[in-house]
Amino acid sequence: MPVPPTSTAVTAVIPHYGDPAPTAALVAALLAAPGRALTAVVVSDDASPVPYPDSHDPRLTVVRRERNGGFGANVNTGLSEVDTDLALVLNSDALITGEQIDALVAAAAPFQPAVVSPQVVNEDGSPQWSGRHFPTVLHQGVEWLTPLARFRHLPVLHEAVGHDVAAARSAAPVAVDWVMGAVMLLPMAQVRAVGGFDEEYFMNSEEVDLQRRLRDRGVASIVVPSVRVEHGMHGSSDPLRRRGWLVDSRFRYARKFGRPRALKAVLTAATGVNYAVNRVRQARGTDVDAAAVLRDEHALIWKGTRR
């Protein structure tokens, strides 16, 4: 396979934790048909209870962390093995081919250095909103309001929680505030210059934090709609635990870039609305414990503010 110029060569970095089967399937597919741009694959094992197996393939590097540090720390460990100008961070449940990587790199070239994502979609082809707006207190307050969940399919609600609807509808590459981290092409020199991912985030918000710091250096974030990549979103952890990570990360982001006191006030007010609606639902026979939900949400907010 001809080796492309350094400026277009890519190393795929796949963070691993849990069942190694999806990661192994993605690695096997990429090594079987890497295309022109992909020159190496790095699997970063985040002290997984089921370790990723060793490999004798010279194109694959497996690195192992001594302790579980979360997404950003694990990706940083993988990025430390990259010697190409570009790295492609891939969730293990992303379905991407070497041909798609070539197309993404080619489409991204006029914008480099930039953080670039394809149009990431669900299994049914619906968008996962690859392009997003920088988080605001209003976005997070609307998202916290569980009575609005039934309307989340509406474009106005997607915008209200920070999804860039115009980016999902665009046919041409479009600049956005930030792109989600499931499939993310990174310019390595610029990422290293800002210190990589902030490892104080365990899960969620680390990619927006990175792109916020890169934006301060003039590095744009771009969505390339012509490349569509399916992402399964097969999370296996407890939903309440995942929500805890989300709240913790948003308060950390707010402490760095936003208004943590305002975020606490808005989430607390939204919790009151949720409780009032849940009381009505409970009285009508819906299987919901309004008081328990209230306690859980207050506990999440309290914990987030103490980090």
CATH number of the domain that residue 54 is part of: 3.90.550.10
Task: Please indicate, yes or no, if residue 253 is contained in any of the structural domains.
Answer: no
In a domain, 242, yes or no: no
Q: Answer whether residue 292 is part of any domain.
A: no
CA distance 249 to 11: 28
pLDDT of residue 232: 83
**What's the pLDDT score for residue 144?**
95
**Contact 226/196 with Cβ under 8 angstroms?**
no
Domain assignment present for residue 139? The answer is no
Residue 76 lies in a domain: yes
Per-residue pLDDT, 1: 39
Residue written as token pair 């997070």: 140
pLDDT at 22: 94
Cα–Cα distance, 229 to 121 (Å, whole number): 6
Note whether residue 146 is domain-resident.
no
Residue 64 C-alpha from the chain's centroid: 21
**Confidence (pLDDT) at 2:** 41
pTM for this predicted structure: 0.91
Are the C-beta atoms of 104 and 116 separated by less than 8 Å? Answer: yes
Q: What is the pLDDT of residue 262?
A: 96
In a domain, 150, yes or no: no
Q: What is the pLDDT along the chain (307 residues), one digit of tens a residue?
A: 344 444 689 999 999 999 999 999 999 999 999 999 999 999 999 999 999 999 899 999 999 999 999 999 999 999 999 999 999 999 999 999 999 999 999 999 999 999 999 999 999 999 999 999 999 999 999 999 999 999 988 999 999 999 999 999 999 999 999 999 999 999 999 999 999 999 999 988 999 999 999 999 999 999 999 999 999 865 545 667 778 889 999 999 999 998 999 999 999 999 999 999 999 999 999 999 999 999 999 999 998 887 6
What pLDDT score does 238 carry?
63
Note whether residue 169 is domain-resident: yes
Could you tell me whether strands 10-16 and 86-90 are parallel, antiparallel, or unpaired per DSSP bridges?
A: parallel
Q: Are 113 and 187 in contact (CB under 8 A)?
A: yes
Q: Total structural domains in the chain?
A: 1
Q: How far, in Å, are 9, 148, 212, 299 from residue 260 at the CA level? A: 41, 23, 17, 16
- Domain with 96, as residue range(s), is 6-134+162-231
Q: How far apart are CA 40 and CA 61, in angstroms?
A: 8
